Amino acid sequence: MAGSDSIRVFAPATVANVTCGFDVLGFAVNNPGDEIVLRKTNTDKIVIKAIHGDGGRLTLDPNFNTVSIPVIKYLEKYGIKQGLEIELFKHMPLGSGLGSSAASSVAGVFAVDKLLGLNKTVEEMLPFAMEGELIACGAAHADNVAPCLYGGFVLVRSYNPLEIVRINTPQGMYCSLVHPHVEVQTKDARNALPKEISLGTAVTQWGNVAGLVVGLMKSDFGLIGRSMQDVVAEPARAGLIPGFYSVKESALNAGAIGAGISGSGPSIFALSDSLDKANKIAEAMAAAFSKIGIGSETYVSEVNHQGPVVMG
């Protein structure tokens, strides 16, 4: 793409935590996601031309937007003087627990890398994407940006030093997402978490995390489902999402392997082994919210295995 003057990139939404994997596990989905168009200009400035689909909520100041900060940092790191114009298309709700800011960050760094033809590895691009998360939420978390950039399921093993581990992911695994029309502040979700947990609770959680990882690597859907039990964050955060347990139960009754809160909420995700089941599960979760007077959007797709892509 180095000879082109513009590029269009899609970056996927993500589910972080994945029940028992609080702050260390995440995976990408094919739908929804963000799109970015990046164009070379004859100046040395980075400009956000337009943002579509955000209802005017996001800043056009390139120094404070998650889509542009990774681009700026990338150019600075490699000593490149190139003006760029950014157009961002938001195809997912903000503050949904679906990694909206992460998708923008990854789209930005992936687009500038491909447009300029440097073709860095995902490991080399990741720190730039994390700079976007730093702007978005005050901390350079990787549990959304890493799966968005790498695709599939990933484990954030360590931040110091940064180590991201790809987890072999079963083919034919589908995700149903429901985003209810309620708001959960990330700050409130963080404050709801217990400051300490008992050793017994910790052992249960460790066993589930290990079981989930092994289940994914062995394509053992039964083990995956049995391991998707969160005894730390979910009990503390469930009260922030009206009807959470009834929505989760509706997903399991409709054939889900497992279900839980996506990120810090309010979206709820469910995994399944067929598209037909995934559609029925999404309908069941939306109906459970509707029953208590809450509207929602649903998204159904296979787990994304490739991360961001250049669009034709």
Q: What is the 3-state secondary structure (H, E, C) of the chain?
A: CCCCCEEEEEEEEEEECCCCCCCCEEEEEEEEEEEEEEEEECCCCEEEEEEECCCCCCCCCCCCCCCCHHHHHHHHHCCCCCEEEEEEEECCCCCCCCCHHHHHHHHHHHHHHHHHCCCCCHHHHHHHHHHHHHHHHCCCCCCCHHHHHHCCEEEEEEECCEEEEEECCCCCCEEEEEEECCCCCHHHHHHCCCCCCCHHHHHHHHHHHHHHHHHHHHCCHHHHHHHCCCCCHHHHHHHHCCCHHHHHHHHHHCCCCEEEECCCCCCEEEEECCHHHHHHHHHHHHHHHHHCCCCEEEEEEEECCCCCEECC
Taking the complete model, does pTM exceed 0.85, yes or no?
yes
**Are 142 and 75 members of one domain?**
yes
155 and 26 in a common domain:
yes
Query: Quick one: 50 and 163 in the same domain?
Result: yes
Q: What is the pLDDT along the chain (312 residues), one digit of tens a residue?
A: 445 899 999 999 999 999 999 999 999 999 999 999 999 999 989 999 999 998 888 999 999 999 999 999 999 999 999 999 999 999 998 889 999 999 999 999 999 999 999 999 999 999 999 998 887 777 778 999 999 999 999 999 999 999 999 999 898 999 999 999 998 887 888 899 999 999 999 999 999 999 999 999 999 999 999 999 999 999 999 999 999 999 999 999 999 999 999 999 999 999 999 999 999 999 999 999 999 999 999 999 999 999 999 997
Same domain, 55 and 90: yes
Domain CATH code at residue 139: 3.30.230.10
Instruction: With respect to residue 1, please indicate whether it lies within any of the assigned structural domains.
Output: no
Domain count, the chain: 2
Does 277 lie in the same domain as 188? yes
| Whether 276 and 295 share a structural domain | yes
- Residues serving a catalytic function are 133, 186
Residue 256 lies in a domain: yes
What CATH number does the domain containing 224 carry?
3.30.70.890
Q: Is residue 151 part of a domain?
A: yes
- Domain span at residue 102 reads 6-167+305-310
